[in-house]
């Protein structure tokens, strides 16, 4: 599960760099991917805590 949170951080950094450089479409797409990776991470963490 550490891979998911690591990937989310990578996409967040990519989104910030893209936004600074002016590529707002790529930045938005990267933020969407990062958001979904964090959501999946939280869901899997809750499931693993319950089980």
The Cα 9–Cα 14 span in angstroms is 9
Confirm if 4 and 40 have CB atoms less than 8 A apart. yes
Confirm if 48 and 28 have CB atoms less than 8 A apart. no
Instruction: Give the per-residue pLDDT at 34.
Output: 87
Query: Region 35-41: what's the mean pLDDT?
Result: 89
Instruction: Give the per-residue pLDDT at 23.
Output: 84
> What pTM did the predictor assign?
0.74
Token pair listed for 50: 């319950």
Query: Region 1-22: what's the mean pLDDT?
Result: 84
């Amino acid at each position: 599960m550490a891979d998911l949170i690591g990937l989310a951080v990578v996409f967040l950094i990519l989104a910030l760099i893209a936004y600074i450089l002016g590529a707002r479409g790529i930045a938005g797409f990267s933020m969407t991917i990062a958001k979904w990776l964090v959501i999946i991470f939280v869901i899997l963490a809750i499931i693993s805590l319950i089980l």
